[in-house]
Every structure is written in structure tokens, then in C-alpha cells.
Amino acid sequence: MATARFFSLPDSIKQLSDSGALSSVPTHYACRDPDAPSDVDPTLEGQIPTIDLSVLTEGDPARRSQMVRQLGRACEEWGFFVVVNHGVPETVREAMLAAAQGFFDLEEEEKAEHSGKHVMDPIRYGTSFNSKVDDVGYWRDYFKIVVHPAFHSPAKPLGFREALGQYAACTRVVGMELLRGMWESLELDDGYMNNALDLDACFQVCVVNLYPPCPQPELAMGLPPHSDHSLLTLLHQNGVDGLQVKHGSKWVHVKPPPNSFLVNTGDQMEIVTNGRYKSVLHRAVINGRSTRMSIATVVAPSLDTVVEPVAQLVSPERPAMYRGVRYREYLEHQQRNKLWEKSALDHLRVQ
């Protein structure tokens, strides 16, 4: 339920930032303690696992098995890894970023066609996370487009549809290859998992995030600590850092290598693997100089799938840790409520 709130959010942070009138953040964006000791551990960055996708797709069997094990360890120990040699042409990735920038650069009235939509609407523009329920403002505008099983696209700007279509198709292939490797790392049958999660009709969304420069970046957040509702999420950014992932009790500031995707496991992965591969907490921080843009591609089961721990990973020693739930209901619940840590998944834990 939405609670009474004593502030209103602008139509977009971009507009607020572009106006140049701000020397401080409006108070409802101040959600961090600037004097708190840093919780970021810079020594962890070099330990982020890297997965070479070409070894999974075309490597010889021995190298492939080794990479599958590496992937399994990355999922178990981090829930986060860098993917290189993924086969997605740089032209496709660049065209998507340019198209996304083109969208945010449209007049506010043109973008407004997609704002104020229901959380399950296939095309949705807005600011913060869910401006109806957020109890602080997040320094972020977003544009979310469902691209599979049905492909959607805004009509403007020119070229957006084509760039998105190619980007969505390429990232879906990468996502499916990674999922295949993950099932294999747990000795789960690929065909069985494809069926159980109805992956031919997988739900895929491209979420474009825009984080304009902020006059007091130490006070505000782009996105608070959260896990994603997906099986996995692939992230691509415009060269400006800001993603931080939680590892143990510390946060790691991620600087992606060139031409790479950043991948994290999501809540559906945690449910289906009965907690073997947990979704990872991450957050987006902002800066005072440059606009950051990121494109998070969410790959998930079909909306009608009832997702539950797979029988092979449930035993008397390790009983089912989560109740099964239809993914559509999970998604709607997660998107309607405040974004905070793993609150959506916590609902499903068996006590």
C-alpha cells in the first residue's frame, strides 16, 4: 500500500539536472550518510570472476568443462561475473546506447506518452524506481521495454526499433548460453530446465537507466541495494562506472573491461536452484560530472511459469527453501513495491 508522502518527484531527473539550477539535491533525494565510513573494498575488484563465453560455445570439451566449473564457482561465490568474447558485435551495443540516448533526448512531452503506466505495461518510462511508493527519490530515469516473447518498441526516436531488435536478439542468445552452462554446472538437464522454465517463451526486458550528474552525489543514490527479479541480468554501460555489487559484507565498485557484459544472477535463479545460486545485491551510485547510462537486459522464465526449486536440488538434508510462485505474480509484486534488498524474495522463504 502506498503511504502518505510529503514530497513530489519531478517528471525526470534529466530535466532537473539539465536546468542547471541545482546546487544541492532536494531533501527527499538525500538517503545516504556522507560521514559514514566507506563500505567499499577496493581490493576485491581484481577478484571478480571472468567467463569467456567463446569457450562455452565453441571450445573443445575439456576446456568447456573447465569453463562450466568456473561459471558454477562464479555463481556460487559471487552471483556476479564479467563476460568476455560474447560474440555480440560492438556496433550492436553502441547502436543500442545511441538509441537509448536518443530516447532520453526527446522532448519531455514525447516521453510522457510512456509514463504513468501500470507496472506490467510493456513500455514504461519514469523516474526513481516506483514513484508511487518510493519513500525517497532515486537519481535515475528509466525506460523499460519488454522485448520477448512479444517484441515492443516505441515509435520514436527514429532507428530505436531496429537497434533494440538487434540488441535484444543478441543478448538473448548470450543469456541462453549462460543458462545452459549454469544448468550444466549443477548437473541439471538442459532440455528439462528449458521445459520447466518455458524458456522458448522467456520473458526479456531491456531496462535503460539514465543517471544524470548530481550536485551532491555522496547524498543521493541511483538505485538502492536490491536483487533483480530475473534468472540473470546482463548489463552494458556507456563508459561511466557506478555499479557496485555486494560480496560478503563489502561492496565492490565495478569497472568493466572494454567490450564486456556484467552479469548477475537474479531471484528466479535462487528459487529454482533452491538457494545454490543466490541472487546478488547490487546498487547504482552516481557522480557529479558525467551522465551515466546503463542497459540492463533481464532474462527470466515465461510469465506463466510457476517457478519452484527443482526436484533434483531438494533433499531431506536440503528441503525446499522457497514456495513456488507464478513468475508474473512475482514480477508484479516486486515492481509495485519499494525496491529494497531482497524483500520480494523474502516473502517466499519457507520458515
**Residues at the contact surface with Fe ion, assessed by CB under 5 A:** 228
Nearest-angstrom CA–CA distance, 65 and 67: 5
Nearest-angstrom CA–CA distance, 225 and 204: 22
> Whose grid coordinates read 520447466?
196
Nearest-angstrom CA–CA distance, 69 and 343: 30
313 interface partner picked from Fe ion, ligand AKG, none, CB below 5 to 8 A per type = none
99 interface partner picked from ligand AKG, Fe ion, none, CB below 5 to 8 A per type = none
CB of 318 to Fe ion, least distance (A): 27
Pick 80 or 183: Cβ nearer ligand AKG: 80
Nearest-angstrom CA–CA distance, 209 and 223: 10
CB of 341 to Fe ion, least distance (A): 12
Q: Which of 25, 71, 82, 223 binds ligand AKG (CB under 6 A)?
A: 223
207 interface partner picked from Fe ion, ligand AKG, none, CB below 5 to 8 A per type = ligand AKG
Nearest to 208 by CA among 287, 293, 124, 129: 293
Cis-peptide into 37, omega within 30 deg: no
Nearest to 281 by CA among 228, 215, 222, 339: 228
209 interface partner picked from Fe ion, ligand AKG, none, CB below 5 to 8 A per type = ligand AKG
Q: Which residues contact 314 (CB under 8 A, 6 or more apart)?
A: 274, 320
202 interface partner picked from ligand AKG, Fe ion, none, CB below 5 to 8 A per type = none
CB of 314 to Fe ion, least distance (A): 27
Binding flags for ligand AKG, 225-264, as an x/- string (CB under 6 A): ---x------x------xx---------------------
Pick 197 or 280: Cβ nearer ligand AKG: 280
Binding flags for ligand AKG, 294-333, as an x/- string (CB under 6 A): x-x-------------------------------------
CA distances 115 to 71, 72, 109, 125, 127, Å, are 38, 39, 10, 5, 9
Footprint of ligand AKG on residues 158-217 (CB under 6 A)? 207, 209
Binding flags for ligand AKG, 262-291, as an x/- string (CB under 6 A): --------------------x-x-------
Chain residues binding ligand AKG by CB under 6 A are: 207, 209, 223, 228, 235, 242-243, 282, 284, 294, 296
